[in-house]
Amino acid sequence: MAKFSPLMVLPVVIFAGFAGLAFVGLKRENPDGLPSALTGRPAPAVEVTQLGREKVFNDKDLRDGEVKLVNYWASWCAPCRVEHPNLEKLAESGVTIYGVNYKDKPSNALKFLEELGNPYAAVGADESGRMALNWGVYGVPETYIIDGEGKIVLRFAGPITSRVMESTILPAIEAAR
């Protein structure tokens, strides 16, 4: 008969620990939500360059008294393609959207807009990713709702699907007004 050793219990204890962490993670209210230290604070500086001949936006545009969205996107981003029709719906409904093209080749970004349409009131390029870093962007797509005073009301990481638009984006826009 094998002699009992405390090391024999170690795999079970490790498994139970991982299972406990997974259970706690699944019980979170919004497992996809990523916290933003900037919510409720003024939006960081706009540091974009012009993308082709597209109209560019600046800090003053974020503080014009109107609610708007700032959307980080890239032509190489598959989820950006998924959310694009919903951005167009928002723009058609009168929501001002400013686009920040993130770490992309200008020619590819312009081709993306030509192919799928341009929902942006103005768009700029963040080729180095410096502005995204200052805004706390984790990846693209990522969207910020900005109130009329230029404060961040909501940060949403991931593609804006129809469900997200109805349950999260539109209510946050209304609350910001």
Short-list 88, 79, 83, CA closest to 139: 79
Q: Cα angle at 42 between 38 and 47, to 5 degrees?
A: 95
Instruction: Supply the pTM of this predicted model.
Output: 0.81
> Tens-of-pLDDT digits for all 177 residues of the chain?
567 666 666 666 566 555 555 554 444 444 445 556 789 999 999 999 999 999 999 999 999 999 999 999 999 999 999 999 999 999 999 999 999 999 999 999 999 999 999 999 999 999 999 999 999 999 999 999 999 999 999 999 999 999 999 999 999 999 999
Q: How does DSSP assign 73-142, residue by residue? A: E-TT-HHHHHHHHHHHHHHHTT-EEEEEEES--HHHHHHHHHHH----SEEEEESSSHHHHHHT--SSSE
- CB atoms closer than 10 angstroms to residue 86: 19
Pick the CATH number of 41-175 from 3.90.470.10, 3.90.850.10, 3.40.30.10, 3.30.70.60: 3.40.30.10
The rounded distance, in Å, linking the Cα atoms of 115 and 75 is 11
Which amino acid belongs to residue 42? P
* Domain ranges (residues) in the chain: 41-175
Closest to 126 measured CA to CA, from 118, 115, 135, 116 = 135
